[in-house]
Copies of this chain bind each other. A is one copy, B any other.
């Protein structure tokens, strides 16, 4: 409880002894809030809900490790919500748990590399959402192979459906490969795919 105990941190709250993590300057604060709001709105793109996106934006934009209470205070959300959303973000792997020497409280910080975050998210969404569809399509194509259909194989409707399935399969296979490149190569900075693209076009 006493301020005297804290020796490593320059600024602390007298009440709690916890380092003051949030920016005081209103100009900076406004910039960060703008970013957080827009990032939250865009959450849909990433398949992440608004609150989760905002928490992530907060951790990313400040570049500081923050604890649950910091997040609650700054975003005005409940403890339960903060706790669950932070856990979910950890599960995604785009933020990490952190401990401060001699402190019990857990802190969270965002990955700093946007490319890495994107890779993580892309890989997971590909696995969850694209792979199953591609598998279904392949099964559908198998089921319509002439060998499995007898004379029906030449039916107009069957032929049309087969063509459509083929078109979709080609598309998804190629898209998958592109994803794979992002995912496999991106560790930091521009990855191979992007370099190739920017050079070629």
A35 touches B136 (CB 8 A): yes
Q: How far is the CB of A18 from chain B (nearest CB, A)?
A: 17
Instruction: Name the CB-closest residue of B to A150.
Output: B27
Q: How far is the CB of A66 from chain B (nearest CB, A)?
A: 12
- Also in contact, A167 and B35, with CB within 8 A (given A28-B157, A44-B129): no
Q: How far is the CB of A112 from chain B (nearest CB, A)?
A: 7
For residue A60, which residues in chain B have a CB less than 8 angstroms away from its CB?
Answer: 164, 168
B61 touches A132 (CB 8 A): no
Instruction: Name the CB-closest residue of B to A64.
Output: B160
Whether A14 is near chain B, meaning CB under 8 Å from some CB there, is no
For residue A113, which residues in chain B have a CB less than 8 angstroms away from its CB?
Answer: 167
B115 touches A171 (CB 8 A): yes
A155 touches B35 (CB 8 A): no
Q: Which 10 A-B pairs have the closest CB atoms?
A: A63-B160, A114-B171, A38-B136, A196-B200, A23-B157, A31-B140, A42-B133, A31-B143, A45-B129, A114-B167
Not counting A27-B143, A196-B200, a sample of 12 additional A-B residue pairs whose C-beta atoms are within 8 angstroms of each other reads: A28-B144, A30-B143, A31-B140, A32-B161, A35-B165, A38-B132, A44-B129, A60-B164, A62-B164, A63-B160, A63-B161, A174-B194
Jot down 19 A-B pairs with beta carbons below 8 A, ordered by A.
A23-B157, A25-B155, A25-B157, A28-B161, A31-B161, A35-B165, A42-B129, A42-B132, A60-B168, A61-B165, A64-B157, A114-B170, A114-B171, A118-B171, A174-B190, A174-B198, A178-B194, A178-B197, A193-B197
